[in-house]
A = this chain, B = another copy of it.
Amino acid sequence: MTTADLLALVEDLNRRDEIDGILVQLPVPAQVDSKRVLMAVDPAKDVDGFHPMNVGFLSTQRPGLVPCTPAGVMEMLRRSNIPIAGQDAVVVGRSDIVGKPMAMLLMNANATVTVCHSKTRDLPGVCRRADILVAAIGRTGMVTRDFVKPGATVIDVGMNKITDRAEFERFFRGNEKREQAFAKNGSTLIGDVHPEVAEVAGALTPVPGGVGPLTIAMLMANTVRAAKLRRAAAVPVG
């Protein structure tokens, strides 16, 4: 598999009218230029929402395709009747896949948004201001109780695997269900949020079973949306 092979495949999929969504599942083999392949995907079929054109559409509030994970978080907030407009939202992590589009969606929904990252001073202090706190850092249980204002909504986008017994005990000692699963599988999944946060948060998404399934659902939603947008664009204008 070469870059040229993948480009040819993407171009074929771009051309075919019966294809509505294209997703390049990363990582691609090391010899493939992933950026070139991703850029080759027709923005109108880019159901991941990662193409710069869709990033620009999101920022400028034009119709386009929005990355699945942050779109799923918005869906979750809305369906749970969590107020967004006028709320203080803090997003920890500034990835292209989650942090930045998440911040943009929250801002477009009239939250006052702060984006934190590895260079942020007093991360717990900044996070404690949040009415809505989104953790998307990829660090096992890093968001502890002291990061969370009592009653805040905490969204845990992290998905980290624990295989070490001592680490397991640090987070899940006394949790029977987790103990059984860990004994059986030799591992368990944990987010970026420490389980102790459940004691202070007003609402907290579980890991696994929280943001993850929604991401997949939004991929389907994006595919339907892509189909509709393409049909709408295909209608001759006058």
Task: List A residues at the B interface (Cβ < 8 Å).
Answer: 51-57, 59-60, 62, 64, 85-86, 88, 94, 96, 100, 104, 107, 110-117, 119-121, 126
CA distance in complex: A117, B57 (Å): 20
Given A53-B52, A56-B55, A96-B60, the answer on whether A119 and B114 have CB atoms closer than 8 Å is: no
Q: How far is the CB of A231 from chain B (nearest CB, A)?
A: 20
Q: Is A117 in contact with B110, judged by CB distance below 8 angstroms?
A: yes
Residues of B within 8 A of A117 (CB): 107, 110, 112
| Count of this chain's copies in the oligomeric assembly | 2
15 A-B pairs with C-beta separation under 8 A = A51-B56, A52-B52, A52-B64, A55-B55, A59-B100, A85-B119, A86-B119, A86-B120, A100-B107, A110-B119, A111-B119, A112-B119, A112-B120, A113-B114, A114-B114
CA distance in complex: A116, B119 (Å): 21
Residues of B within 8 A of A96 (CB): 59-60
The interface residues of chain A, by DSSP majority, are classed as mixed
Q: Is B112 in contact with A107, judged by CB distance below 8 angstroms?
A: no
CA distance in complex: A144, B96 (Å): 35
Q: How far is the CB of A121 from chain B (nearest CB, A)?
A: 6
Residues of B within 8 A of A114 (CB): 112-114
Given A52-B60, A57-B52, the answer on whether A126 and B100 have CB atoms closer than 8 Å is: no
Q: How far is the CB of A84 from chain B (nearest CB, A)?
A: 10
Q: How far is the CB of A86 from chain B (nearest CB, A)?
A: 5
Q: Is A115 in contact with B107, judged by CB distance below 8 angstroms?
A: yes
Q: Apart from A52-B57, A110-B117, A112-B117, what 6 extra A-B contacts exist at CB < 8 Å?
A: A51-B56, A52-B52, A59-B100, A86-B121, A94-B107, A112-B120
